[in-house]
Amino acid sequence: MTSTMRLPVLFLTDPIVLPGMVVPIELDEAAQAAIDAARAGSANQVLIAPRLDEGYASYGVVASIEQVGRMRGGNAAAVLKAERRARIGHGVTGPGAALWVEADEVETPAPDTRTNELAAEYKKLVVAVLQRREAWQIIDVVNRITGPSDLADTAGYAPYLSDDQKRQLLETPDVTERLTTLIAWTKDYIAETDVTEKISADVREGMEKSQREFLLRQQLAAIRKELGEDEPDGADDYRTRVETADLPDAVREAAMREVGRLERSSDQSPESGWIRTWLDTVLELPWSTKTTDSTDVKAARAVLDADHHGLDEVKDRMVEYLAVRARRAQRGLEVVGGRGSGAVMVLVGPPGVGKTSLGESVARALDRKFVRVALGGVRDEAEIRGHRRTYVGALPGRIVRAIKEAGSLNPVVLLDEIDKVGADYRGDPAAALLEVLDPAQNHTFRDHYLDLDLDLSDVLFIATANVIDTIPQALLDRMELITVDGYTEDDKVAIARDFLVPRQLERAALTGEEVTLTDDALREIAANYTREAGVRQMERLVAKALRKAATRLADEPESITIDKDSLKEFLGRPRFTPESHERTAVPGVSTGLAVTGMGGDVLFIEANAAEGKPGLTLTGQLGDVMKESAQIALTYVRSHLEQLGIDAGVLDRSIHVHVPAGAVPKDGPSAGVTMVTALTSLALGRPVRSDVGMTGEVTLNGRVLPIGGVKQKLLAAQRAGLTTVFLPKRNEPDLDDVPAEVLAAVDVRLVSDVAEILATALEPAEVDSTVAA
C-alpha cells in the first residue's frame, strides 16, 4: 500500500541525490525556506528533487535533516541524508514561504533470484573499479551492502556517471531494470579505461631508448640522493670519503689513484664497477681501529675457567700473554719496527675437547673481537690471499674478510681445522698461510685483491687441528704448539655436571628439581658408555637420557632421579667394557697403546704360527714403518732365543702378525715393544698379563726409544682398565703433563730395554699354557 506525504520541496541542480546518500547543501533563500518549513513540521523531513530546464522532475528522495549550521565562509548550510525514493504529485499549500507538494513513497519489492544475481554481478564490477583506484576502505563498505536496491543506489557517488544517467536511475523504481542499466554502463566504463591504459602503455613503450635511459638515470639519481648515496659525477663522493677516512699514507695514495681512474672512466664501463667495489672494500677495512686489551689478569683467568674445565696449559699461555702485554703497556714499551705483539698458536688434540670454543673464550678474556675462519676442505690458494682484480667476481681472501668482519686490526682469529687444508692445481692454501702466520712477516701481509700492505702483527691467531702429521713442517714451525689432550674420567664427570647437564636440561625444557642425574651415573656413562677423548658423545647420551625422562614425565609428573642402577632404562646396555682380559687370554696377544685423530686408544697385536715355509705375514692395513717394526721385533726375538728361554726352531715356521680393526690404517714405530712381547708370548706359550699395556719403539738390539702422545696413551690405558703401563725411559719428562689421578690409577714403569718388559709382562711360568709346538 502506497503512503502519501506532504513535504516541502528542495530543488537541486547539482548533485543528483539517490537514496542512501549523505550530502551537504549550501542554503540559498528558497532552500532556507524549505529547511525552515521542514524543521517546523513534526517529521523534520524534506523532499529533494532535481531541477530541470523544462520543469521539475517526477521523482525525488525523502531526506532527513541531520545538521544545520554554517560553512567556513559563513554561508548557511545543511547536511541531508536521503532515505527513500518518492513520486512527486501536485502542489499543495503549507506553512512558510516554501513550496509544498504531495509525494507517494515508492515501495521496494522483495528481491527475486534474478535481482540477486544482477546485484552480485554489479558488486563485482564496482569492486573492480574501486581496486583500480585503490579505494580499499570504500570496497569494505560496498561489500557490507546486502540489499540490491541499496547497492544500485550507491551509483549516486560514481564519478564516471553523468547527471542525466543518475537522474535516469532516480526515475527507475524497478530494481532489476536499474541494475541491468548500471551493469551495462559500468562495463562500458571499464572497457574504456582498459583501452586508455593500453594506449598509455603503448605510448610509454614507444619512447626512444635514449629518452628512457635518461629518465631512468634521473630517477636513479633522485633515489640515491634520498638515500644519502648521491654520486654527482660518479667519483666525487669517493674522493670525499677517501680524503676524510683515517687511512695510512700508502693506502690513501693508492686509493686516490683509483679515484682518479674512476673519474676518467665512463659510468657504463665495467671497470668503474670494479674500482667502486675495490674502494668500498678498502674504506670498510679498519686500518686504524684497534680495541684495548683487558689488563686484569685474574678476571681473564676467571673467564677462561668459567667457560672451560681443565685445559690448563692453554689457559696459562693466554694469561701469560696478557700479563706481558699489560706489563709492557704500564712501562710504555712500544713495539719497534712495525711488528706488533700478536701471537700464533695451534691447539692440537682429539675432537670434542673444546678447541674451537676456546677461541671465543680467549677473545672474551682479552676483551677483543672474535672471528672464526673455517679452513676444513679449502683447496684454493686464492681463498687465503684473494683473487686478482682482473678476474670476474674477484674478492679478497678469507683473512682480509675476517679483519673486515671483526672491525678491528687486533682481533682473535680462529683458524679452524688447519690440518684439513688440501692442495690441488689451484695452489696450496697451506703455503699461502706461511706469510699470514709468520710474526716476522705478517706486518706487511699483501692480499692479491687489495694489493696493499695489511698489518696483521697485532692479530692473535689461534689454529686448531686434530693431528699435526698433515700440517706442513714449515707452517708448523711458525706456530706455537699447544697439545690439548683428552679428559680424564673425573674431568668428564665435572664437565658433564657443570656444563653439559645444565645445557641439556634447558634444551629439554626441564629443571634440576624435575630430573636429577647423579655423579655415579655420569661416571658410568664416561666409563662404559663412551670411549672418547672429548665429551661430545657423552653430551649426546646425556641428552638422550633427559629426553626419555621428559617423555616419562608426560605420563607420570613426578621428579626423576637417574642413577647408576637405573641408567640402563634410559640408555640401554653399556657399549664398552674392558676387554683386555678376554683378548689376552691366549698366548701371542699383547696390548699396546696408540694415538689416532680421535685421541688415545688401546691396540691389540696378535701373533700366531703355522706349519709352512718360514716367513712373516703382516695384516691389518699397516704402514711401512709399522711393517718394519714387525720385522725388527721378529729379528730381535730370534736373535735372543737363549736369553728369553725359547727353544730353538720354535719360530722357524710361518709367523702371522695381525693388528685387528683391519679397516683402519695404522702406522708408526711405537708398537715395536708390543710386537716383541706378542712374539715372545707366542714362542713361550705364556699369555701376556691382561692388566699390562706398553708402548715404545724398539731397535734390533732391544733398546726402547721414546715416542709421542704419552698423556693421551695413558688416558686411554686408564679408560681401558689397564693398571700397569711400560713407557720408554726417555719419556719420563712427559709424565709431568699427565694428571695426578691418572698416575695414581696406573703404575707407570719406565724401561730402556725391552727385556725389562718381557721379565714382568708375561704370566708366571707356573701358570703357563702348553708351549706352542
Which are the contacts of 681, defined by CB distance < 8 A and separation ≥ 6? 587, 588, 589, 590, 607, 687, 688, 762
Q: Does residue 567 share a domain with residue 464?
A: no
Q: Does residue 535 share a domain with residue 494?
A: yes
Identify the residue whose cell numbers are 665512463: 266
State the binding site for ATP: 349-356
d(CA 49, CA 449): 83
Nearest alpha carbon to residue 451 among 274, 299, 302, 327: 274
Does some domain include residue 403? no
Q: Which of 149, 272, 670, 690 is catalytic?
A: 670
Does some domain include residue 50? yes
d(CA 675, CA 592): 9
Q: Is 670 a catalytic residue?
A: yes
d(CA 55, CA 78): 25
Contact 458, 409 (CB under 8 A): yes
Largest CA-CA distance found in the chain, in angstroms, rounded: 153
Does some domain include residue 398? no
CATH of residue 142: 1.20.58
Q: Does residue 133 share a domain with residue 244?
A: no
Nearest alpha carbon to residue 438 among 479, 400, 485: 479
Contact 381, 339 (CB under 8 A): no
CA distances from 690 to 191, 580, 586, 720 (A): 98, 5, 10, 11
d(CA 330, CA 296): 12
Q: Does residue 355 share a domain with residue 425?
A: yes
Does some domain include residue 384? no
Which are the contacts of 629, defined by CB distance < 8 A and separation ≥ 6? 669, 671, 672, 675, 697, 698
Nearest alpha carbon to residue 587 among 490, 672, 690, 484: 690
Cβ burial, residue 745 (10 Å; 0-12/13-18/19+): middle
Q: Does residue 707 share a domain with residue 632?
A: yes
State the binding site: 349-356
Does some domain include residue 401? no
Which are the contacts of 678, defined by CB distance < 8 A and separation ≥ 6? 588, 589, 590, 605, 606, 607, 633, 657, 688
Report CA torsion sign: 562, 568, 572, 576.
positive
Q: Which three cell numbers stand for residue 173?
A: 523504481
Contact 387, 269 (CB under 8 A): no
pLDDT along the chain (773 residues), means of 10: 78 83 85 83 80 74 87 84 85 76 82 83 84 81 82 83 84 86 86 83 66 72 70 64 86 88 75 85 88 82 84 83 79 57 82 84 88 86 83 85 90 89 77 83 85 87 87 87 81 88 90 89 86 86 91 85 88 77 82 81 88 87 90 91 84 88 80 92 90 92 90 86 92 88 90 91 65 39
Nearest alpha carbon to residue 671 among 705, 717, 718, 641: 705
Does some domain include residue 366? no
Q: Which three cell numbers stand for residue 352?
A: 670434542
d(CA 694, CA 676): 11
| DSSP tag of 701 | T
User: At which of 571, 596, 615 does a domain end?
Assistant: 571
Does some domain include residue 399? no
Which are the contacts of 599, defined by CB distance < 8 A and separation ≥ 6? 349, 350, 485, 486, 532, 533, 534, 712, 715, 716
d(CA 708, CA 696): 9
pLDDT of residue 636: 92
pLDDT of residue 4: 79
CATH of residue 547: 1.10.8.60
Q: Which three cell numbers stand for residue 111?
A: 528481491
Q: Which of 123, 166, 369, 713 is catalytic?
A: 713
CA distances from 756 to 159, 429, 606 (A): 112, 47, 21
Identify the residue whose cell numbers are 715372545: 680
Q: Which three cell numbers stand for residue 513?
A: 628439581
pLDDT of residue 66: 86
d(CA 271, CA 164): 66
Q: Which three cell numbers stand for residue 595?
A: 694415538
Which are the contacts of 249, defined by CB distance < 8 A and separation ≥ 6? none
Q: Which three cell numbers stand for residue 377?
A: 676442505
Does some domain include residue 404? no
Q: Helix or strand or coil: residue 190?
A: helix
Supply the range of the domain harboring residue 172.
113-203
How many domains does the chain divide into? Answer: 6
Q: Does residue 637 share a domain with residue 556?
A: no
Residue 267, number of CB atoms within 10 A of its CB: 12
Q: Is 124 a catalytic residue?
A: no
User: At which of 148, 180, 203 does a domain end?
Assistant: 203
Q: Does residue 154 share a domain with residue 127?
A: yes
Cβ burial, residue 445 (10 Å; 0-12/13-18/19+): buried
| AA identity, residue 87 | R
Q: Does residue 94 share a domain with residue 137?
A: no
Q: Does residue 269 share a domain with residue 125?
A: no
* Angle, helices 355-366/297-307, rounded to nearest 10 degrees: 150
Residue 223, number of CB atoms within 10 A of its CB: 11
Cβ burial, residue 518 (10 Å; 0-12/13-18/19+): middle
pLDDT of residue 299: 85
CA angle 421, 425, 429 (to 5 degrees): 30
Q: Does residue 535 share a domain with residue 584?
A: no
Q: Does residue 638 share a domain with residue 567?
A: no
Contact 335, 325 (CB under 8 A): no
Backbone angles phi, psi at 202, to 5 degrees: -65, -40
Q: Does residue 302 share a domain with residue 225?
A: no
Contact 539, 504 (CB under 8 A): yes
d(CA 523, CA 503): 18
HEC readout, 441-470: CHHHEECCCCCCEECCCCCEEEEEECCCCC
Backbone angles phi, psi at 509, to 5 degrees: 60, 40
User: At which of 571, 589, 618 does a domain end?
Assistant: 571
